[in-house]
Structure 1
Amino acid sequence: WAGCAAAVEATRLGYQATLFEATRIAGGRARRVGGTLSGEPVVLDNGQHILIGAYAETLRLMKDLGVDADATLLRMPLAATYRIEARHLQAVIDGCQMDLEQNRYLDFPGLKQYCHLVAGIVGEVAARIFGQADEATTAYAHKLGLAFQLTNIIRDVGEDAMRGRIYLPVNELQQFDVKAHEILKRQYSDRFSALMKFQTERALALYDEALAMLPQADRRAQKPGLMMASIYRTLLREIAADGYQVLHQRVSLTPLRKFWLAWKTQAFGRVV
């Protein structure tokens, strides 16, 4: 990032600059390092704040140099083909920034705003890439993205708690009398099961609502999203069947089962 900033400054002074990047391992926000703290396993941050800050600073520098971000992004092959706009990138940046600065949400509207930024907008972009002819598909894709993110939150309650984050809304924990320290200490109870049943039913309802909104004209093109919906809905049912044992483990489907679900959706066009 320092090299990028230097190149921008050199360009501003009238020099030509070319940037090269070399690395032995893949970079990116998803990289993480495992460690221990007081004998307990923890996942160490990989400098996400630096990366997100770099994205935001890039947009600021473009503005300072008089570069129209929308026009510039539209000249990029993917953006030009799929109508990806600067607002989509900014929304994801804002969502990631929320992730870095906020680890609790008071209520579902607050959590939903976070999901809107990191998943709903991503769903909209994905729908454009898959192939979108009907504008109504945008609403379907956005709601499906919310359902995916809620599924991730349900699946990763234990892992997220290890990182100091509890995405489940505070008022809903209070509603079911589940204490944050119980989640952090991986303590199961009937109250926790009831809370997770509530979360799961809401996510499943979002899948139903999203699928009902998909226009027939785009159903074939949107099959990648439908395949993901089959896999994620099945995962939710597995979590429920396992008694919501998500504090000490990450429930997942086998690769073969995921392939089978995707194949059935591709072959028959129906979400399981």
Structure 2
Amino acid sequence: MSEGAALTVPAATGSSFYLAMRILPKDRRNAMYAVYGFCRAVDDIADGGGSSARRMADLERWRADIDDLFATRAPAQLGDLAEAVRRFDLRQADFNAIIDGMAMDAAADIRAPDWATLDLYCDRVASAVGRLSVRIFGMRAEPGEALAHHLGRALQLTNILRDIDEDAAIGRLYLPREALAAAGIFSDEPLDVAADPRLPAACAEVVTRARAHFDQSRRVMDKEPRGAVRAPRLMAAAYESILDRMAARGFAPPRQRVRADRLRVLGAFLRYRVA
């Protein structure tokens, strides 16, 4: 692990993540905090300063630590994560997929990937987290995999739409080139694209795909025991409210950052907090 790194409980106690975790039993909640801490640590490396080579090296040190964890030689600071792996039979491949996703950011700034590359990125940085999470939630294997696939992509596509300006400021553009080209945008310069008046047309297809993944997620959760899907339902409610608010606002510049609808999230929390 990169020097000085540590896995910590999230500090953003007002976030939708924290609310979703609050409705879990303690052992599952602590396991999710451990996974979240890992994700935050590798994400901070990918988005941090320094050269690409340095960031890639730091990610590879994390990969070595994960290797050690699964070989029962986990560093002391990864004790909570090791306990989560043991208790909930988490898979090494999913941790490595998350690192692979962060490496896509660390190797070079992503600029207008094609849909296939963007889908791979979403699978690694979001659906792989979902595959770890559904095991902790206690879902059955097949519906759990389906939920991780669809909800992970729904959340990540929503993030991409929400963070267009923030990403452009650091030289990144996650909107797919096919959607940009269909809107008549052929530049891959993030700041130019973010300021282009044709951008809303490109965002429309991303919104449509995100909604389709939310719909598929809902179909999966509707068939599962209520207790196993309380946390993902709350996350879906929060992020779908962000997507709805962005779609209502539109994507023409200038854009103000959209937050989750508090009443909608609170309603979901009250509805799903009891199994």
TM-score, normalization by structure 2: 0.71
Residue 260, structure 1, aligned to residue 266, structure 2: yes
Q: Distance in 2 between matches of 1:152 and 1:227?
A: 16
Deviations 1:98-148 (A, max 9, x none): 011241244111100011000011011111112223532221122111110
Q: Is the 8 A contact 2:111 2:190 kept in 1?
A: no
State how far apart, in whole Å, the 1-side matches of 2:189 and 2:59 are: 37
| Structure 1 gap segments, 5+ residues each | 5-26, 33-43
* 1:226–1:265 CA contact under 8 A, matched in 2: no
Aligned to 2:10: none
The residue number in structure 1 matching 2:95 is 89
**CA distance change for structure 1 residues 90 and 121 in 2, over 3 Å: closer, same or farther?**
same
Q: Aligned-pair distance for 1:239? A: 0.4
- Pairwise CA RMSD: 3.4
Stretches of structure 2 lacking an aligned partner (at least 5 in a row): 5-39
Deviation at 1:69, TM superposition (A): 3.2
Distance 1:240 1:68 in 2: 43
Contact 1:227 1:261 in 2 (8 A): no
Instruction: For CA contacts below 8 A with separation 6 or more, give which structure has more relative contact order.
Output: 2
CA offset at residue 30 of structure 1? 5.6
User: Which whole-Å CA distance do the structure 2 matches of 1:206 and 1:62 have between them?
Assistant: 30
Which of 27, 41, 45 lines up with 2:48 in the alignment? 45
State the TM-score, normalizing by the size of structure 1: 0.71
Bigger Cα Rg: 1
Counterpart pick for 1:249 among 235, 256, 261 = 256
Paired residue for 1:128?
Answer: 135
Counterpart pick for 2:204 among 197, 207, 223: 197
Pick which of 47-56 and 211-220 moved more.
47-56
Write the distance in 1 (CA, Å) between the matches of 2:179 and 2:89: 38
CA apart distance, 1:218: 3.5
Letter in 1 for 2:195: Q
- Distance in 1 (alpha carbons) for counterparts of 2:173 and 2:222: 35
Q: 1:52 to 1:234 in 2, by over 3 A?
A: same
How many residue pairs match? The answer is: 231
Look up the match of 1:226: 233
Over 3 Å counting, the alpha-carbon distance change for 1:176 and 1:53 in structure 2 is same
- Secondary structure of the residue that 1:222 maps to in structure 2? helix
Q: Identity percentage over the alignment? A: 28
Q: Match of 1:69?
A: 70
Once residues 263 and 62 of structure 2 are traced to their aligned partners in structure 1, the CA distance between those partners, rounded to angstroms, is: 41
**TM superposition shift of 1:81:** 1.1
Structure 1: distance between partners of 2:169 and 2:137: 35
**1:166-181 alignment to 2 at 5 Å?**
166-180=173-187
Residue 48 of structure 2 aligns with an amino acid whose one-letter code is: D
Distance 1:3 1:30 in 2: 15
Structure 2 partner of 1:147: 154
Residues 99/267 of structure 1: CA separation in 2 closer, same or farther (3 Å cut):
same
The Cα of 1:235 is off from its aligned counterpart by: 0.9
> In structure 1, what residue type is equivalent to 2:268?
A
Give 1:187's match in structure 2, choosing from 195, 198, 204.
Answer: 195
Contact 1:119 1:149 in 2 (8 A): yes
